Each structure stands twice: as C-alpha cells, then as structure tokens.
Amino acid sequence: MKVKLLCTLLFFISQCNYSQTIKGKVIFNNYAIADVEVINANTKTLTSSDANGKFSIAVKTNDVLVFVSKGYEVKQIAINSETITKNNLTIELILKAEELNEVVITKMPSINLSLDENYEQGKLDKLALEKSTRSLKTGVYNGSIENGMDLMRIGGMILGLFRKEKETAAKTVPKIEFKARAATEYNQKFYVESLKLKPEQIPLFLEFCDADPKSKTVSESSNGLALMDFLFSKNTEFKKLTPVAR
C-alpha cells in the first residue's frame, strides 16, 4: 500500500515539475486552421499548427498557452494536470469582428447602377461587342477591327478603376496605435495572471510601454510573438520602478 501511495505521489510531482509534450488541434467552425502561432507564455517557446491544424508543444502544469493567428481573436488557456493527462486539446478560435466586416464590405456592390452614367455606357459597349461577334460569325473577314477603339477605351477604363482602387486602399490603411492593439489582443486576465500586474496598474503599464519608440514598430508588426516579447521585456523594467509599479 505504501509503495502504491509513493508511486502516485511521484507521478504527480513529475507532472508538476517536468515538461511534457502535449498535442492538439486548432479549428474554426470545425475547419482546421494552419500556421497558428502556439506560444508557451512561461517558457517563451513557439510552434505553429500544420496544414491540418495540428500542433505539439512542451508544457508543464500551470503553464499558459497563447494562440495567435491573423484575423482571429487571441486565445489563451492554462495547463493543468488533467489537460496533460488527456493530451488531446481542441482549440476553437473566434474570427475578429473587423475581419468579418471587411469580407462583407468587399462583396457589396460599390456602384449605384441605376444612377451611374458609366453603367449606361457599359451597356452600349456590350451591344457593340455583340454586334462585332455577329459580324465575325458570318465567316467573312475584311481585315478591319470593328469597334477596335471601343475595346481600347474599355481597357483603359478597367485599368483606371484598378489604379483608383489601389490608391484608395493605400490611403485608407489605418495606423495601429500600440495601446489599442495591446488592449485588443490581450485581455485583463493576461496582464494579471501572465504579467502578474494588478488591475489598477494595467493602464499605467500600457502608457509606460507606449512611451518606448519601439512600441510603434511592434504595434504595426503582424508577428504576434513580437508584441508578446515586448510586453514581457517592458514588464521586467516596469516592476523595477519604485514606487510606481508597487
């Protein structure tokens, strides 16, 4: 009996103190998500999900795993002994609201056809092309290109639309503020549990980070790990301040 109790005790101690590889899968609406960054916030190790959404990473009890993917909300989970024993995580991400809005907007028609003169001209161009096609079907070719100038004009119009759309997109790309991104991607639980900050310290901490010129570069980077590393490094500096961080 004592031997069994000792073995059980040793088993739980090993679960708490030694890293083990845990496996899982990242999904959205039952579809696998590839290239999701899986980060162990405690050991700062990183891996990515494969084409089938599967991943494996070394963890131990009380570690925090963070899942980061462009277009999805950041998700984090705490590892316990039950999670390690089960060794089969299923992580479901949530699509960001702004990403969903962009998809809807791009599929909406941007031209009011009933009032647009270009639409009326487009109908005339279509009739001209149909007329040209009927002429070719007769089997007689006289060496001329009927409505050739119309085709050139149509091509120029299309090219102009592409250029205008590209210029508009370049002008409307918003600059991401550091504090806004940090507050959006990481909730209060992350700052309290992972960074060991008090709730009332969080706004001051974000101001402290924003004062660093490096925060501008980090906020515009698409690399989620870069933002996390920056927060951890600034947290170390923040806690050295006295009596600000206490």
Of the chain, the percentage scoring pLDDT greater than 70 comes to 59
Three-state SS for 178?
helix
Confidence bin at 241 (pLDDT 50/70/90): confident
Three-state SS for 163?
helix
- Taking residues 58-72, what's their average pLDDT? 93
CA atoms of 123 and 211, how far apart (whole Å): 57
- Taking residues 6-17, what's their average pLDDT? 54
The yes-or-no verdict on residue 57 having pLDDT over 50 is: yes
Q: Between 2 and 200, whose confidence is greater?
A: 200
What mean pLDDT, rounded, does the chain reach? 76
152 contact partners, CB below 8 Å, separation of at least 6 = none
Please give the pLDDT value at position 45.
93
Structure tokens at 22: 């845990």
Total number of residues shown for the chain: 246
Q: What is the DSSP string of 193-243?
A: IIS---GGGHHHHHHHHHTSTHHHHHHH-S-HHHHHHHHHHHHHHHHHSTT
- Taking residues 156-161, what's their average pLDDT? 67
Give the residue from 74, 75, 69, 71 showing the smallest Cα distance to 98.
71
Q: Between 26 and 86, whose confidence is greater?
A: 26
The yes-or-no verdict on residue 169 having pLDDT over 70 is: no
- Taking residues 172-178, what's their average pLDDT? 64
Give the residue from 82, 99, 102, 105 showing the smallest Cα distance to 28.
99
- Taking residues 121-131, what's their average pLDDT? 68
Confidence bin at 56 (pLDDT 50/70/90): very high
Sheet holding 64-68, edge to edge: 45-48, 37-40, 64-68, 75-78
Confidence bin at 46 (pLDDT 50/70/90): very high
The yes-or-no verdict on residue 108 having pLDDT over 60 is: no
Please give the pLDDT value at position 6.
56
Please give the pLDDT value at position 19.
78
Q: What is the DSSP string of 96-143?
A: -HHHHHHHHHHTS--S-TTT-HHHHHHHHHHHHHHHHHHHHHTS---S
| End-to-end CA gap in the chain | 49
